[in-house]
């Protein structure tokens, strides 16, 4: 199983330039038969990672466009259930980092009854949900606003966030994969998440099952590089094994 997954990852790497490549070309590059390549491509195509046409293949376009409100509605029920489970793990008075993901936004909503939180974030929506209530303290990173994410990811934001050492970083990602771990499509978001993992005492990844087996662009962390995972369904045995000693909570 792991050998096949590595081969699929190698195929995706060969297609990284975005152009169509022939089946024979891929087979030669990986020193395997064309039938082996076709078998792996069937798996990748079913997962939405690649597109095939007339004996050739390319990476599928990643659909990251759309307003924040639109993305907030994707898998909303699962995200809300996950957010509720995350909120139960947070104590009053705790110092948190909450990222700019839509799942992070739902987590902020789920925390609205908590008291005296110190919330560090680069997301405007998170600040709006938790600021000015229950003696919360909100520390919002500034800089150039990314309107698609309603957050700041530039050097100004990173410099501000680098000063903090939260007790818990609450993050989400766009991809969970056995080969490349937790990953995002947005380079700036991934950079901020990596930094906050390094700065925080503990890290929690909150992610719904639609993100598993997707191929991300920029790694955030290896699967065993976080402390907790909160998701909405039981894990495949391969993922359970790869997560090692990571605490898993099923919402």
Helix, strand, coil percentages (3-state) for the chain, rounded to 5, are 40, 20, 40
Determine which helix (DSSP H) or strand (DSSP E) holds 45, and give its type and residue range: helix 34-46
Tell me what percent of the residues of the chain surpass a pLDDT of 70: 90
Judge if 55 and 159 occupy the same domain.
no
Judge if 22 and 87 occupy the same domain.
no
Judge if 82 and 101 occupy the same domain.
yes
Tokens of 147: 């309107």
Judge if 42 and 87 occupy the same domain.
no
Which range, of 84-88, 139-143, 198-202, 213-217, averages the lowest pLDDT? 213-217
Per-residue confidence (pLDDT) for residue 187, from 0 to 100: 82
Tell me the CA distances in angstroms from 200 to 31, 97, 204, one per residue in order: 43, 8, 10
**Any idea what the CATH number is for the domain that residue 38 is in?**
1.10.10.10
Judge if 53 and 76 occupy the same domain.
no
Judge if 162 and 189 occupy the same domain.
yes
Report the number of distinct structural domains present in the chain.
2
Judge if 154 and 240 occupy the same domain.
yes
Choosing from 59, 89, 106, the residue where a domain stops is 59
Determine which helix (DSSP H) or strand (DSSP E) holds 97, and give its type and residue range: strand 95-98
Under a CB-based contact definition with an 8 Å cutoff, are residues 151 and 145 in contact? yes
Number of Cβ within a 10 Å radius of residue 194: 18
Choosing from 35, 59, 83, the residue where a domain stops is 59
Judge if 142 and 201 occupy the same domain.
yes
pLDDT at 12 over 50: yes
Closest to 174 measured CA to CA, from 161, 164, 183: 183
Judge if 33 and 136 occupy the same domain.
no
* Per-position b or e across 122-156, b if 16+ CB within 10 A of its CB: bbbbbbebbeeeeebebbbbebeebeebbbbbbee
pLDDT at 152 over 60: yes
**Residue range(s) defining the domain that contains residue 24:** 2-59
Choosing from 59, 82, 103, the residue where a domain stops is 59
- Name the pTM for this structure: 0.74
Judge if 25 and 72 occupy the same domain.
no
Return d(Cα 73, Cα 21) in angstroms, integer. Answer: 35
Tokens of 63: 């659909």
Under a CB-based contact definition with an 8 Å cutoff, are residues 55 and 14 in contact? no
Return d(Cα 119, Cα 6) in angstroms, integer. Answer: 39
**Any idea what the CATH number is for the domain that residue 219 is in?**
3.40.50.1360
Please write the tens of the pLDDT for every residue from 173-231.
999 999 889 999 888 899 999 999 999 999 999 999 999 988 888 889 999 999 999 99
Per-residue confidence (pLDDT) for residue 207, from 0 to 100: 97
SS3 of residue 184 by DSSP:
strand
Its sign, for the CA torsion 171, 176, 181, 184, is negative
Return d(Cα 110, Cα 158) in angstroms, integer. Answer: 26
Per-residue confidence (pLDDT) for residue 236, from 0 to 100: 92
pLDDT (mean) for 145-162: 92
Return d(Cα 64, Cα 54) in angstroms, integer. Answer: 27
Judge if 201 and 140 occupy the same domain.
yes
Judge if 83 and 9 occupy the same domain.
no
């Amino acid at each position: 199983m792991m050998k096949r997954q590595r081969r699929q990852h190698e195929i995706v790497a060969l297609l990284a330039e975005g152009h169509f490549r022939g089946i024979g070309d891929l087979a030669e590059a990986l020193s395997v038969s064309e039938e082996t390549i076709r078998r792996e491509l069937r798996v990748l195509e079913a997962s939405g990672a690649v597109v095939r046409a007339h004996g050739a293949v390319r990476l599928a376009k990643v659909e990251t466009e759309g307003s924040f409100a639109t993305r907030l509605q994707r898998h909303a029920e699962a995200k809300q259930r996950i957010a509720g489970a995350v909120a139960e793990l947070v104590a009053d008075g705790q110092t948190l980092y909450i990222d700019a993901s839509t799942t992070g936004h739902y987590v902020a909503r789920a925390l609205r009854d908590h008291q005296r939180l110190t919330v560090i974030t680069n997301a405007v929506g998170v600040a709006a949900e938790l600021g000015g209530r229950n003696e919360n303290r909100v520390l919002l990173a500034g800089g150039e606003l990314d309107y698609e994410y309603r957050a700041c990811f530039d050097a100004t934001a990173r410099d501000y966030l680098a000063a903090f050492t939260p007790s818990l970083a609450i993050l989400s990602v766009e991809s969970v994969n056995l080969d490349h771990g937790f990953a995002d499509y947005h380079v700036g978001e991934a950079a901020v998440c990596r930094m906050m993992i390094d700065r925080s005492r503990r890290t929690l990844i909150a992610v719904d099952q639609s993100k598993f087996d997707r191929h991300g662009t920029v790694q955030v962390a290896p699967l065993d590089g976080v402390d907790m995972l909160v998701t909405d369904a039981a894990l495949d045995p391969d993922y359970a094994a790869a997560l090692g000693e990571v605490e898993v909570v099923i919402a």
